[in-house]
Amino acid sequence: MSIKKLTLYLTTVIFLFSIACKDQPKEDLSTIQMVSPNEMEELIKIESTQLVDVRTEKEFASGHIEGAHNIVYDEHFIEKLASLDKSKPVAVYCHSGGRSEKCAKILKEAGFKKIYDLKGGITQWVYHKKDTIK
């Protein structure tokens, strides 16, 4: 075998070896799933699902889904997540879906594994004649 061929062969082997030894990206196991009011109603019947209303305290007081925890989406939202269990599913909602979409992404980045986002927020919940409490 000539020096050129040997050099090419060794270069190829080293290149392939270096690719094989690189850290492979970890599979992203966390998911965000948009759910309807009917699906949300079923989810919150499951004891382990953490229900989070990300609206303001005033909005929350005007009516919310029973069992919801009010964790206001603001500049301190990430710090407030410490009160939640990352190993349990989290269902989030807001007024119409904008804030909860942002919060769901933050939850995913923070390591929560299963995240549900109420499509259309509490507006759709009420539209579908689901109960709220004050």
Q: 96-129 pLDDT, tens per residue?
A: 999 999 999 999 999 998 999 999 999 999 999 9
Q: Show me where the domains of the chain are located.
A: 30-127
Fold of 30-127: Oxidized Rhodanese; domain 1 (3.40.250)
Mean pLDDT of 19-29: 47
In whole angstroms, how far apart are CA 48 and each of 15, 45, 58?
48, 9, 27
Instruction: Using the predicted structure, report yes or no on whether residue 16 has a pLDDT greater than 50.
Output: no
Q: 1-11 pLDDT, tens per residue?
A: 667 655 555 45
Instruction: Using the predicted structure, report yes or no on whether residue 61 has a pLDDT greater than 60.
Output: yes
Q: What is the DSSP letter of 64?
A: B
Instruction: Give the closest residue to 30 by CA, choosing from 107, 119, 118.
Output: 107
